[in-house]
Amino acid sequence: MRRKLAAGNWKMNGTSAALEELATLAQAHPAPGCDILICPPSTLLHRAADTVAASAVAVGGQDCHAKTSGAHTGDISADMLRDAGATSVIVGHSERRTDHGESDAQVQAKAEAAIAAGLIAIVCVGESLEQREAGETLDLIRAQLAGSVPQSSKAETLVVAYEPVWAIGTGKVPTIEQIAEVHDFMRTELAQHLGEDTAAGVRLLYGGSVKASNAAEIFAVTNVDGALVGGASLKAADFSPIVSALEKA
Ligand code: PGA
């Protein structure tokens, strides 16, 4: 059985006052029927970890460097995230791939570093609108999975998030059929790379404009094991109903 995961990505949002939201979220779900993860900006990570220390909410990073330490000004290693209290780290988010030109090989190296540091790597994949309209979605997902997922991944240390770039922050959501098609495809592709047993245990998240009003429908899809939520994870009042929908799925 795959334990469902509700993950929030705060992106470049949140200063000290936002820790309130984390405390409220933790109080609302004292014994959740799914895993809950919030990835705040790294400036808040340590205090966020302290805020949720006695709760069921975990915290994670939004990116890490592939190396453990060294002369990389401004970068943060997976070991540092772990030391600050993270259990997980997002790698290969489309905003990193676009804003920082990250390649599949770099994302794979980051995921390997994350796993080596004892973190769960949440590897993101997803097509652009042009790729979707050109009928290239599945080819792109295949290439991104082959290039970004470490061969050595175990079910416990890998999460894959399908995030169509055109659905992120836009309010546009793929149809349930489109989500189901990609998620089924990802499970099959992962079986090729990691073997049937491992692939069967890897959690597959959907991400892109998930909100309370569409969560239940998305969570009913067979190979959707949770969500990676951006905008609707910033406020406990918005994220909590998404967690509740996942608990009921
Ligand atoms: P969104 O972002 O929920 O604001 O669309 C999702 C993501 O980028 O993880």
- pLDDT 10s digits, 4-30: 999 999 999 999 999 999 999 999 999
> By C-alpha distance, which of 147, 94, 171, 152 is closest to 125?
94
Can you say whether the dihedral through the CA atoms of 80, 14, 214, 34 is positive or negative? Answer: positive
Using most ligand atoms within 8 A of CB, pick from 166, 173, 209 the residue to mutate for ligand 1: 209
pLDDT digits (tens, 9 = 90+) for 186-225: 999 999 999 999 999 999 999 999 999 999 999 999 999 9
CATH code given to domain 5-248: 3.20.20.70
The strand pair at 88-91 and 57-61 is best described as parallel
Instruction: For the chain, give the percent of residues with pLDDT over 90.
Output: 99
For residues 246 and 6, is the Cβ–Cβ distance under 8 A?
A: yes
- pLDDT greater than 90 at residue 1: no
Residue 169 pLDDT: 92
Question: Both ends of the chain: CA-CA distance in Å?
Answer: 13
> By C-alpha distance, which of 98, 75, 87, 151 is closest to 122?
87
Amino acid letter for position 6: A
Q: Of ligand 1's atoms, which has the minimum distance to the CA of residue 169?
A: 5
The answer, yes or no, to whether any atom of ligand 1 lies below 6 A from the CB of 228, is: yes
User: Residue 148 Cα, ligand 1 centroid: separation in angstroms?
Assistant: 20
pLDDT digits (tens, 9 = 90+) for 119-129: 999 999 999 99
User: Residue 67 Cα, ligand 1 centroid: separation in angstroms?
Assistant: 27
pLDDT digits (tens, 9 = 90+) for 80-117: 999 999 999 999 999 999 999 999 999 999 999 999 99
For the chain, the DSSP string reads -PPPEEEEE--S---GGGHHHHHHHHHH-SS-SSEEEEE--GGGHHHHHHHTTTSSEEEEES--BSSSSSS-TT--BHHHHHHTT-SEEEES-HHHHHHS---HHHHHHHHHHHHHTTPEEEEEE---HHHHHTT-HHHHHHHHHHHHS-TT--TTTEEEEE--GGGTTTS----HHHHHHHHHHHHHHHHHHH-HHHHHHSEEEEESS--HHHHHHHHTSTT--EEEESGGGSSHHHHHHHHHHHHH-
Instruction: For the chain, give the percent of residues with pLDDT over 70.
Output: 100
Q: What is the mean pLDDT of residues 56-78?
A: 98
The answer, yes or no, to whether any atom of ligand 1 lies below 6 A from the CB of 62, is: no
Backbone angles phi and psi of 58, in degrees to 5: -110, 160
Task: Name the residues annotated as catalytic.
Answer: 93, 163
Ordered by start, the domain boundaries in the chain are 5-248
